[in-house]
Amino acid sequence: MTGVNPNSSVPNTHLLVVDDDEVFREATAGVLRSAGYDVLVAPDYRLALDVLESDKSIALLLVDIVMPDRVNGLALARMARLRRPGIGIIYISGYDIPGLQTEALGPIIRKPVDDDRLLEAVAGALRMNK
């Protein structure tokens, strides 16, 4: 899978993938890297917050909604927006969650994630946040 990274001319711009499922997290990061994106990963909200509080330019957060910690993807997204008001957010979930769309700060992608759908959603989110 190849794609065009619309941020390739912007140095130090990264995507952050947060998911407690290591296989899914690494597969998603791999698809994004193969498309030319710089990708950071975190297995939980604690490490994600460390990245968000670093000096790296994070353009987009891709976050699993249901995680085993007390902080789920919705809460992490709100924390991310407090730290980085312009960050784009894409939610990923394998569950049907009533009322999710009203709480979400961005698009929701259902697991299993199709590679092309993922890349389209990322490109769209990055365009929206320019």
Per-residue DSSP letters for 34-91?
Answer: HTT--EEEESSHHHHHHHHTSSSEEEEEEEES--SSSS-HHHHHHHHHHH-TT-EEEE
pLDDT (mean) for 114-122 = 95
Residues 49-92 pLDDT 10s? 999 999 889 999 999 999 988 899 999 999 999 999 999 999 99
Q: Which CATH architecture has domain 13-128?
A: 3-Layer(aba) Sandwich (3.40)
Alpha carbon of 31 to those of 11, 86, 125, 126: distances in Å?
Answer: 20, 24, 16, 16
Confidence of residue 13 (pLDDT cuts 50, 70, 90): low
Average pLDDT for the chain: 86
pLDDT band at 98; cut points 50, 70, 90: low
DSSP 113: P
Q: Give the residue extent of every domain in the chain.
A: 13-128
Instruction: Tell which wins on pLDDT, 23 or 2.
Output: 23
Four-residue CA torsion sign, 18, 23, 28, 32: positive
Rounded distance between C-alpha atoms, residue 6 and residue 96, angstroms: 31
Confidence band (pLDDT; 50, 70, 90) for 97? Answer: confident
pLDDT at 11: 44
The whole-number average pLDDT for the span 4-29 is: 77
